[in-house]
Structure 1
Amino acid sequence: MRISSVLASALLLATPLSIVAQHSYTPGTAAHGHKAAGETHAHASPHGGTVRTAGKYHLELVQQAGQLQVYLLDDNEKTLPVTRATGTAMLLSAAGKTSSVKLLPTGNHLVAAVPAGLTLRTAIVSLNANGSSLSARFEKIDSKAKAGKVAAAAYACLMNCEGSASTNPGSCPKCGMALVKKS
């Protein structure tokens, strides 16, 4: 009986260490108010969207007029490059219809066109980035888009490539030309 009580005490002492190892925290960095993957992020999002945990990263989804923008973020909400990232978004409409769209890298984020006439309710984003497969679910998107201000794309490709519109400067995901500011 003495051995089992010593073993139980050792397990109780080791438990806090295993909890800390699951979600590391570095002093001086932003503490995270979530524990489960996909849970809503506790801090404000850097680009005005919704942030979800995806493995060791975070994904931020921003709905613009006719498109979705996805940003890959680190633990400190810093935007990471997505030049070699690939992904898709499974879209669920308010009417219960689903469609899948390809996410294309544009500047510092990925972009996908939302099918015309679709009132988006839920998006499930799946990415392959930095050697990791990432996934996050974003719900109640249409209500957030109605409540927020919709920003128009300010930059586009000179060649008018599909999916090149962006609110930020960068390069076209199809032809590689620099995006130019719309007049």
Structure 2
Amino acid sequence: MKFSQLLLAAALVATTAFSAQAQHSHKPGKAAHGHKAAGETHAHQSPHGGVVRTAGAYHIELVQQAGEVHVYLLDGKEATMATAGTTGSVMLLTTTGKTSTAALTPTGDHLVAQVPAGTTVRTAIVSLKARGKSLSARFEKLDAGAKTSKAAAAYTCPMNCEGSASDKPGRCPKCGMALVKKS
């Protein structure tokens, strides 16, 4: 064999081994879903309503709340792990292009970082030191949800029934009236 063919074969073997190792199942009896690389998004629900990324043998979940980001360390089955002894920081990139770093402080079963007032976070890079391991995950397009939520309430019931807001025309689930476009 030529050297280039040997090099290509070695690369394919290494890639195959990495892909096979990265795939795992979250629930017994369920089909495995593939994680091609650390930091990929999960297609299933997150335990706390945020975004889940892989980080080695663990998972990191990021949940945005008013003026804060909450970070949960999850095990391989996505159960919340204790944060005792866990330290870390989060680098935030805003929609205005500014970057800042905030320390993560343990609070109960998760870590919290303060986000400057009036800031819309586009990207967050979480770096943790947990159980003797360095873990990191990148969360992108976090501002996409903010744009969607504004458009999500484009139609509402003329009687202002609770829970009638919709992103498309239709009928109010409470009173049955046609939804009208908000001005």
Q: TM class, shorter-chain normalised?
A: 0.5 to 0.7
Higher relative contact order (CA 8 A, sep 6+): 1
Q: Which runs of 5+ in 2 are unaligned?
A: 2-11, 150-183
Measured against aligned partners, the alpha-carbon deviations of 1:108-154 in whole angstroms (never above 9, x if no partner) come to 10000101121111111100011110111111112224546xxxxxx
Correspondence for 1:52: 53
C-alpha separation in 2, matches of 1:58 and 1:65: 23
Matched, 1:88 2:89: yes
- Worse-superposed segment, 137-146 or 96-105: 137-146
1:139-154 counterparts in 2 under 5 A? 139-145=140-146, 147=148
The structural deviation recorded for 1:25 is 4.7
62-71 vs 136-145, greater mean Cα deviation: 136-145
1:1-183 map, 5 Å: 19-25=19-25, 28=28, 31-145=32-146, 147=148
Q: Secondary structure at the match of 1:141?
A: coil
RMSD between aligned alpha carbons? 2.9
TM-score w.r.t. the length of structure 1 is: 0.66
Q: How far did residue 23 of structure 1 move?
A: 4.1
CA distance in 1, matches of 2:29, 2:58: 15
Give the counterpart letter for 2:96 in structure 1. A
Deviations 1:149-172 (A, max 9, x none): xxxxxxxxxxxxxxxxxxxxxxxx
The one-letter code sitting in structure 2 at the alignment partner of 1:120 is V
The aligned counterpart of 2:156 is none
Q: Normalising by the residue count of structure 2, what TM-score does the alignment of the two structures yield?
A: 0.66
Contact 2:125 2:136 in 1 (8 A): yes
Query: Is the 8 Å Cα contact of residues 26 and 78 (structure 2) preserved in structure 1?
Result: no
Call closer, same or farther: CA 1:110–1:146 in 2, change over 3 Å: farther
SS at 2:35 equivalent? coil
Q: Cα gap change, 1:42/1:67 in structure 2, threshold over 3 Å: closer, same or farther? A: same
Number of equivalent positions: 139
